[in-house]
Amino acid sequence: MDRNLFFLVCLLCGTGTTSSWFGQDDDKATKESCDITASERCNLSAMKQPTEVFPGGETRCMSAFHPKFSFSVFPGDPQRLLIYLEGGGACVDPVTAMMRACDEAASVKVAKNVGIFDRSKAANPYRNFTIIYVNYCSGDLFVADIKQKFGYQYGLLNTQSALDWAKANHLDRTLHTFILAGSSAGSLGAQLWARSLLSSFSYERAAVIADSFVCVMPPGAQGMLFGTYRVCDNGLFSEADQVWCRAGNLTVQHLYASAIARFPEVTFVSINSKEDFEQIKYYNMLSKIFKGQPPTIDGTSFYKMANSDLAVFNQYANFVSFWVNSDQHMYLNMESLYDVDAKSTLGGGSGPKLIHWLGSLPVRTGESVSSQCSGKRVPATVRRLQAPACSDPSFPYQLLKSVAGAEMAICFSKQEYASQKFGPCESWCVTDARVGDGCNGCCGDINSKICGSVSASTEFGTDSCDSAQAGKVFRIVATTTTGVSLFRIQNDSTTEPDKPTLGEKKSKYSAGFRTILFFALAFVAISCCCLAGLCCCKDRDDYDDDISEKSGSSRQPSLVSALSQYSDDEDGALTA
């Protein structure tokens, strides 16, 4: 199927259609408007009701007829900020733009007073927040800065203009609460922007909410999107991620997982329907171009694949998920938000409603939030490992590594790879899926790299919940005097009493003892560094460089180095 034809079909099916989000005039929010000029700054303090802000400058939408970009501000408590990225499809070429496969103008959109934007609902946890609603009219997942043949894709500049306005209004000062959220294409935008925004704002607590897009795509599809939008060198990604991006190996999953690992005190969330019809359609259309395996998916296979992606995020204490037994696409901006629970969009389950669950975000010190899923708890996969670990003749050389409290083997095809502790992606496999990809996405599904037979559980379906994820609890148990939160993972099905936490144990030590211990450790560290050039303390990077020089090969990403950043805490939580 021709790529252009695919995106023509994408128009008909929709990835974040406006029909379910923008509707009749009687639902529209009453808004004022304001143009930022040299003399008018559109200050938050002067806003009395929702205001559409036109930042001007280089910002613009794709539409040649309605090029003016705007973002909306719902004024509220300046200490509580929510930035929302709108959904609305994607455009990659003239045909998709001509057929309106993405929303191209901000002027035709007026947000409805529904979902998290309905300030008349007492149950709305964000009714008093200052909300910046970033319109989506660039068709580029909020990340491009390029003039295409079919129009301007300035999603990066447009989003940055909203952030600049926030900072000009001092919303980047220490906030009580900061939330980044997005639905559909905006969910992808939130995942892509998470690292940058969490670094740009100061806050006491924060959360990232990805609503209705897990990015279940055939291999190669994400590389195509990043390449089309030319995002590798636009400054949004880290230097390491730029390298993977240029090689076509960068994925949204890797970027989101990296952000989760980097900000362990921030609550990261994924909200999805088990049979999301839009995400299923999106995969099936992409699969025709990229010859995906499987060629098509249904609700059950989508749910299994999405669970596999979420399992990577789930290794971090600060990630939780909310699965709904439904095929609905998007929740945060829908009227049904106030009825939905894990059982159905109409409610009726024993667990919390989604709107109340959102009220527990971000997690506060001494409180917790748990992943929600309705159904019997069974393993998502069944693994039958070979014994000994590297008995597969294709990968006979093993290197032992402790991961998540268990000794596991990384198996290489050649002795030199095992000695070097790294090798090409196709040269190794592992004995445990918890290790993750290890090659930043270039190896595809980690289950295909397991040493031994790995198959989907015959019990696991849309009436089930992954026992490794369902009921997982993220709890912040204490906050140190330096503002560092201490947290851990537990499962809500456990009846065992809590063990003393790291924070509780630390409290047993006096301030004087901690001071002595600090200086003692500092002395040892300095001494070791001084001797490093003589005989000791040679780090792993130096070791790998020596290996590369001796072998005459260039430095490759080290699988073991990637693994070594993780350690097990006392409760079995994998922390970075």
Q: How far is Cα 390 from Cα 12, in angstroms, rounded to an integer?
A: 49
Q: Which are the contacts of 518, defined by CB distance < 8 A and separation ≥ 6?
A: none
pLDDT recorded at residue 89: 85
**pLDDT for res 52:** 94
Residue owning tokens 């409610």:
347
- What's residue 248's pLDDT? 80
The pLDDT assigned to 575 comes to: 33
The count of residues in the chain is 576
Backbone angles phi, psi at 244, to 5 degrees: -65, -35
**d(C-alpha 50, C-alpha 72), whole Å:** 7
CATH of domain 3-364: 3.40.50
C-alpha–C-alpha distance, residues 326 and 340, integer Å: 10
**Amino acid 426: pLDDT:** 76
Q: What is the pLDDT of residue 453?
A: 54
Query: 3-state SS string over 358-422?
Result: HCCCCCCECCEEECECCCEEECCEEEEECCCCCCCCCCCEEEEEEECCEEEEEEECCHHHHHHCC
Closest to 178 in 3D by CA, of 70, 84, 49, 46: 84
Q: In this predicted structure, what is the pLDDT of residue 351?
A: 92
Q: Which of 302, 490, 309, 469 is nearest to 378 (CA)?
A: 469
Alpha-carbon distance 302 to 462, whole Å? 9
pLDDT of residue 220: 80
Low-confidence stretches of the chain (pLDDT < 50) are: 1-28, 383-387, 404, 481-485, 487-489, 493-518, 524, 526, 528-576
Q: Quote the pLDDT of residue 388.
A: 54
User: Which letter does DSSP use for residue 26 in this model?
Assistant: G
* Spacing of C-alpha 507 from chain mean position: 34
Instruction: Tell me the domain boundaries of the chain.
Output: 3-364
Tell me the C-alpha distance between 156 and 138, whole Å. 9
The alpha carbon torsion through 24, 27, 31, 36 (nearest 10 deg) reads -60
- DSSP string for residues in 93-157: SHHHHHTTSB---STT---BS-GGG-TT-TT-TTTTEEEEEE---SSSTT---EEETTEEE-HHH
- Per DSSP, 510 falls in state -
